[in-house]
Amino acid sequence: MNRKIKFIDLGLMDYKEAWDFQQKLFDEIVEIKKKNRKDSTNKKTPNYFLLVEHPHVYTLGKSGNMSNLLIDETELKNNDASFYKINRGGDITYHGPGQIVGYPILDLENFFTDIHKYLRFLEEVIILTLKNYEIKGERNQGKTGVWIDTKTPFPRKICAMGVRASRWVTMHGFALNANVDLNYFNNIIPCGLSNNIVTSISKEKKRKTVDVLKIKELLKRNFLDVFQAEFI
């Protein structure tokens, strides 16, 4: 088992470019596993943790419904936004500047083979990170991601999640709203739930901005703690 993870900060990167990069790392890990099985070898598989911000983009998961995108192609252009149908789970979501997106490309056989546990671990990383801002992040029964005030009629979603896994190798991940322009969520039915209220760290703390670099450092530290791993 290899619990060493290579961390890569991609900065601000076009969604398709980052998706292609994810796919390249994902395919490399899968090929190693296939070769190990074919040749009865035991070459260690690498793990990666990518952090990135994207220009305005809407993505629709494989189980999503196009009707949850509330604007047409012309309006997308007017909003300087792009749109992609992608191969993760979940419905529609938005990514944009001020939102920290995490893409763990892990061989779960280096950790544990349980997708539900993996999602709960990702949620725990976010919950621990929010504690540093005195924000109580919570799980919302039957829904992935991290929420606030789940016992109220209108819980607020602060972090969306959607993953893909094949041969126990993961891609895609989470999107934590830090300073993101929440108006862009008005163009979709987030995650296909019409009563979703989306929030951010800056909104919850009533600040104009929060330090994205600090949040990234907290995410890195908490990711290692939760997954009992180390960066290389």
Residue in the block written with tokens 């763990």: 104
Radius of gyration of the chain (CA): 17
Pairing of strands 143-148, 156-166: antiparallel
Which helix or strand (DSSP H or E) is residue 171 part of?
A: strand 169-177
Per residue in 131-148, is it b (16+ CB within 10 Å) or e — as a string? eebebebbbbeebbbbbb
DSSP string across 81-138: -EEEE-SSSSSEEEE-TTEEEEEEE-BGGGT-S-HHHHHHHHHHHHHHHHHTTT---E
List the catalytic residue out of 69, 130, 169, 191.
191
* Angle, helix 212-227 to helix 115-131, in steps of 10 degrees: 140
Q: Is 209 helix (H, G, I), strand (E, B) or coil?
A: coil
DSSP annotation of 55 = S
Provide the H-helix boundaries in the chain: 15-39, 73-78, 115-131, 201-204, 212-227
The reply to whether 191 belongs to the active site is yes
**Catalytic residue positions, numbered:** 191
